[in-house]
Amino acid sequence: MMQDQTNVADIMMGDVVRLEDVLSRDSVTSVCKSFFGLFGLPVRVISHEGDLLADVHRDQPLCNYLNTLGEGERECARTVSVVRDMEPDVETIVHPCFTGAVYRIVPLEYQGRPIGRFIVGPYVPAESAQPPASLLSVDAGIDPATACAHFDTMPRVREHIAEGISAHLKGVLELLLFSGHRAQLASTMQVASVRENYRELAEKNEALKSSFEKLKQLDQLKSTFLATVSHELRSPLTSIIGYTEMLESGAAGALSDGQAEFLGTIRNKADQLLGLISSLLDLGRLEAKSLDLNHERIDPHALLSDLAATVVPTANQRNVSLDIRVGDETPKVWGDQVRVRQILLNLVDNAVKFSDQGGTVTVRAEDGEVDATGASGLGAALFTASRPAVVLTVQDDGIGIAEENLSKIFDAFYQIDAGTTRVHGGAGLGLSIVKQLVDGHGGKIEVTSTLGEGTIFTVALPAADEDA
Amino acid sequence: MQIDFAGKELTVKLVYYGPALSGKTSNLRAIHWLGTSNACGELMTLETQNDRTLFFDMLPITVSSGSGLKVRLKLFTVPGQVMHNATRRLVLQGTDGVAFIADSQRSEADANRESFLNLKCNLEENGIDPERIPTIIQFNKRDMDSIRTDEELELIAQRSREPIYKAIATRGYGVMQTLRGLIRDTWTKLEEDHQLEEKFGISPIRFMTEVEAKLKHDPGTGGR
């Protein structure tokens, strides 16, 4: 990891650390081979650290011969070692060999720093015709005729030409170095940028996660607060209702008409308040997922006739007619009797409330299916697990709901128009509770509406197994 | 900055920052074209097909001082497009001085401001104090229509903490003055922080004289 970071820091300075980081041995070797093929001159490329990156040469008969002689071999090894360790600063060094050949050592520099060198040779400068005395006297056992014959087979090149072709090779290697460095920088930057982006995203995700946790805690706090307050409100209210009932029943003496009327109003408002508090409690329990449902088989006929009995007085008051029908094949509902009744009552009560005078509210119970997974995308046919259901439809021909509001009507405390609260009462809790109750039953609720024409709520609740 | 005492070598990083298309790469191209061949290395550009900088451009300049000190100046540009912020932040790592290339066109004033705020933010993210890093501002594209006038720039310069330079980078006007200004301010700051004169025996004035001599176009080379 540390190594990695150091490299990135070097890259950020745009430097080449080692020659072999940017030059592949294969490509350097093939350039050197082509150089050797063209000019017949041996060439070696060595990094600043002393690693041999390419070595293209053919053994010279003269060198082979000298290596068979004790002193010749030692002198040869010494020369090679000196040449290999030579690192010219800026200028090329031409180093003579005792054989009369020379080595040309050319520095490779990159962005103002030495990065390596290459060695051309040994070759004999074409200018020298005869082998020097140092060759013929290197070892007592040397045969001058053999040595001279081998000397004549050494590669020969004029010095100014050797200088030119070395400059060319230097240019080619520097170009390779530049391209390699460019590619290295691009790939390192690519990876570093991706990492940096990832780091940034991870930080943002962490911040989002922590604010989400805080919001969740706040939401929990709100639910607890609602539950506590509702509970504390309900106790004194129960006493108020109880004592009002006692007064109404004459437990404290006969009442005048005015007193009875006032008590009636107190009772009425207290009931409304109790309803609201009960809703708040329900909501708190539903959100905390602590509402217990007692599942049983519910007969749709009984369900709807009980509903009708409850709603008819209100409907009559508002001059709204009710059309309630149960389909022939409708199975029984598998659910909590009290809660299913609450679902329907809420929907029908709303429908009556938002219908105009003389309007009609239609309630239907039919058989259908409920999609248990809710999947509707690609391959839905494979993933959908639908089961038999009772589909309850509540339709009114009232004011309707605008499309942009449809997605929000199931939110707690949401009122499409603040004015409706004053006209129709309610705290915007009913539909939120209905939705959570339907979800709690593993059912589904949908709404479609056209402004001015009315609204249709469709609730699909799982049907009870026939043999259950 | 990297100091190699043994090798008597200093490496100084200078970054050309600024909004997209303000002329950062053009500055480096002009320096490469105007500078002498023995001081400027090859200009490396990492760009997309349509010539937009993808990661950065880099131009190395090597100044071998008479005192034996070798100073390697590394000039970088950043990608100006907003989406490349991570890359900009990376390139800014370890910078010793910043040349902010602003677009003189009136329509680009907001882009200039936004990019400068981004520079400040990215410097801080890299642990560099924006109040202390040598920064100069170049108003580029002086040849365009509807630009801030010279009089306006005079007024701006009077109020500005950063030295202001004017340039037409595509034609090479003002780029060398900007570069020299940037090197001078950066060197002054490095001298304050690292006592380079004491360590390497080269005064800021002498260094700048040598830089100017090295960067001056050599008529013998006939340009590039």
Residue of B nearest to A190 (CA): B55
Give the least confident one: A240-244, A424-428, B133-137, B204-208.
A424-428
What are the tokens at B198?
Answer: 């004491």
Please tell me the total count of domains within chain B: 1
A465 touches chain B (CB under 8 A): no
- Mean pLDDT across A105-114: 91
How close does chain A come to B19, measured CA to CA in Å? 19
Residue tagged 């709690």 (tokens): A440
Secondary structure E strands in A101-233: 102-110, 113-125, 156-157
pLDDT band for A178, please (50, 70, 90 cuts).
Answer: very high
CB pairs under 8 A between A and B: 60
What are the tokens at B51?
Answer: 């010539």
Quickly count helices (H) and strands (E) in chain A.
15, 13
Predicted confidence at residue A467, as pLDDT, reads: 55
B46 touches chain A (CB under 8 A): yes
Predicted confidence at residue B221, as pLDDT, reads: 38
Say if residue A410's pLDDT is above 90. Answer: no
Residue of B nearest to A181 (CA): B44
How close does chain B come to A336, measured CA to CA in Å? 56
**Amino acid identity of B193?**
D
Task: State the helix-helix crossing angle for B175-194 and B204-215, rounded to 10 degrees.
Answer: 150
Q: Per residue in B17-42, pLDDT tens?
A: 999 999 999 999 999 998 876 788 88
Distance between CA atoms of residues A261 and A267, nearest Å: 10
Residue tagged 């680009």 (tokens): B108
Q: Per residue in B156-189, pLDDT tens?
A: 999 999 999 999 999 999 999 999 999 999 999 9
Residue B77 within a domain? yes
Residue B90 within a domain? yes
B151: domain CATH number is 3.40.50.300
* CB B57, CB B146: distance < 8 Å: no
Q: Do B93 and A190 touch (CB under 8 A)?
A: no
Average pLDDT, chain A: 86
B214 touches chain A (CB under 8 A): no
Give the least confident one: A296-305, A391-400, A404-413.
A404-413
* CB A39, CB A157: distance < 8 Å: yes
**Amino acid identity of A420?**
T
Q: Do B94 and A111 touch (CB under 8 A)?
A: no
Q: In chain A, what is the greatest distance between 2 CA atoms, to the nearest angstrom?
A: 154
Phi, psi of B15 (to 5 degrees): -115, 130
Domains of chain A: 2-196 (3.30.450), 294-462 (3.30.565.10)
Residue B224 within a domain? no
Distance between CA atoms of residues A394 and A347, nearest Å: 7
* Residue B54 CB contacts under 8 Å (≥ 6 apart), including other chains: A186, B46, B47, B48, B79, B84, B87
* CB B139, CB B148: distance < 8 Å: yes
- Mean pLDDT across A277-306: 82
- Mean pLDDT across A446-458: 89
A31: closest CA among A53, A60, A58, A59? A53
Residue B82 within a domain? yes
Residue B129 within a domain? yes
Predicted confidence at residue A379, as pLDDT, reads: 61
What are the tokens at A121?
Answer: 């040779």
Assess whether the previous peptide bond of A122 is cis (omega < 30° from 0): yes
pLDDT band for A86, please (50, 70, 90 cuts).
Answer: very high
Q: Where are the alpha helices (DSSP H) in A127-158?
A: 133-136, 144-152
Residue B96 within a domain? yes
What domain range includes position B114? 2-219
Q: Per residue in B84-133, pLDDT tens?
A: 999 999 999 999 999 999 999 999 999 999 999 999 999 999 999 999 99
* Residue B216 CB contacts under 8 Å (≥ 6 apart), including other chains: B36
* CB B138, CB B14: distance < 8 Å: no
Q: In chain B, what is the greatest distance between 2 CA atoms, to the nearest angstrom?
A: 53
Q: Do A12 and B94 touch (CB under 8 A)?
A: yes
* CB A42, CB A36: distance < 8 Å: yes
Residue B152 within a domain? yes
Distance between CA atoms of residues A424 and A311, nearest Å: 16
**Long-range Cβ contact pairs of B113-118 (< 8 A, separation 24 or more):** B114/B19, B115/B17, B115/B18, B115/B19, B115/B22, B115/B80, B118/B85, B118/B88
Residue B100 within a domain? yes
Residue of B nearest to A197 (CA): B86
Cα atoms in the 13 Å half-sphere on the side-chain side of A371: 11
Q: Per residue in A196-205, pLDDT tens?
A: 999 999 999 9
A192 touches chain B (CB under 8 A): yes
Predicted confidence at residue A98, as pLDDT, reads: 92
A36: closest CA among A7, A58, A6? A58
Q: Do A196 and B87 touch (CB under 8 A)?
A: yes
Predicted confidence at residue B187, as pLDDT, reads: 96
Predicted confidence at residue A116, as pLDDT, reads: 94
DSSP letter at A464 equals P
Distance between CA atoms of residues B172 and B170, nearest Å: 6
- Mean pLDDT across B66-88: 91
- Mean pLDDT across B183-212: 92
Contacts of B87 in chain A (CB under 8 A): 189, 193, 196
Q: Per residue in A22-81, pLDDT tens?
A: 888 999 999 999 999 999 999 999 999 999 999 999 999 999 999 999 899 999 999 999
Predicted confidence at residue B77, as pLDDT, reads: 96
* Cβ neighbours, 10 Å, residue A315: 20
pLDDT band for A207, please (50, 70, 90 cuts).
Answer: very high
Q: What angle do CA A107, A111, A114 make, to 5 degrees?
A: 30
Tell me how far the alpha carbon of residue A238 is from its chain's centroid: 53
pLDDT band for A234, please (50, 70, 90 cuts).
Answer: confident
Predicted confidence at residue A375, as pLDDT, reads: 47
Contacts of B49 in chain A (CB under 8 A): none
B38 touches chain A (CB under 8 A): no
pLDDT band for A416, please (50, 70, 90 cuts).
Answer: low
CA distances to A130, A177, B139, B159, B163 from B156, in Å: 78, 45, 11, 5, 10
* CB A311, CB A322: distance < 8 Å: yes
Q: Do B94 and A182 touch (CB under 8 A)?
A: no
Task: State the helix-helix crossing angle for A159-248 and A2-12, rounded to 10 degrees.
Answer: 110
Q: Do B60 and A12 touch (CB under 8 A)?
A: no
Query: Residues of chain A with pLDDT > 90: what percent?
Result: 41
What are the tokens at A304?
Answer: 């709807």
Predicted confidence at residue A422, as pLDDT, reads: 46
Complex prediction ipTM: 0.87
**Amino acid identity of B117?**
L
Higher pLDDT, A420 or B114: B114
Q: Which residue among A9, A112, A200 places its CB closest to the CB of B70?
A: A112
